[in-house]
Amino acid sequence: VPYSKVFEDVLLLGRALSSKGVVKGDRVMFLSDNRYAWIVTDLAIMSIGAITVPRGSDTPPQELVFILENSGCAHLVVETPELLDRHRETISGLKGLKTVFVMIGPQIHAPFGKIYSYQDILKEQTYSERDLHHFIENGNKIHSSDLLTIIYTSGTTGMPKGVRLTHANVMHNINCIPDIINLTSADRWLSILPSWHIFERTTEYVAFAQGCCLVYSSVKRFAQDLEQYRPTAVATVPRV
């Protein structure tokens, strides 16, 4: 996928989410494991000026409800229809939840319903100069002190705790890390850690900012992808 396609996908998804009521300052939780749609969703929400609350697909129902209510999320994005079915009963009674989006799968929206698949909201695949101007203008309205994301801890020592990070917090790493590790656009970064973890998420931003090639891998494919793509960088967490 070239960077031009990523840009278009982020613009189109941002426009679609906006048309369904996602506005600057809204908290948007999304449950998903590593995939291309993850980074597109993250950047699309960010481009609106909304606040991401990411979590993995293995989040238990009790933690899901707690995070949605504790963070004040108005919208939820889930990775698959199966994941939505797993949590449908859990989220059905949440009064503050306005809209639910499903990343992959067929069209599912019913009249007067609040659940949409990306297939429902991305029917229009073209954009105008006005859309492009609006997209860039929205980005220019975002300040470094604006809240970018709320990342919740794993919950191993009690209920998860939300960590608030601003655009400036994340941009500091993006500005500093490439020089420290001599990263250039010729590098190829293999992604293996969960994208919703801030360490992995930061490395993906750093790779994007430098124009690197980012390869999403998995535990099962890791050895195969190392051989096939021959990455120059891999983010990992040491075990002690």
**Do 135 and 47 touch, CB atoms closer than 8 A?**
yes
Mean residue pLDDT of the chain comes to: 92
Q: Averaged over 198-217, what is the pLDDT?
A: 93
**Do 38 and 191 touch, CB atoms closer than 8 A?**
no
Residue range 11-59, pLDDT digits in tens: 999 999 999 999 999 999 999 998 999 999 999 999 999 999 999 999 9
Helical pair 129-140 and 3-19, crossing angle rounded to 10 deg = 80
At position 161, the amino acid (one-letter code) is K
Q: Averaged over 79-93, what is the pLDDT?
A: 92
Q: Averaged over 61-85, what is the pLDDT?
A: 94
pLDDT of residue 112: 83
pLDDT of residue 155: 66
Q: Retrieve residue 55's tokens.
A: 């979590």
**Do 2 and 213 touch, CB atoms closer than 8 A?**
no
At position 207, the amino acid (one-letter code) is A
pLDDT of residue 66: 92
Question: Looking at the predicted structure, is the pLDDT value of residue 200 above 70?
Answer: yes
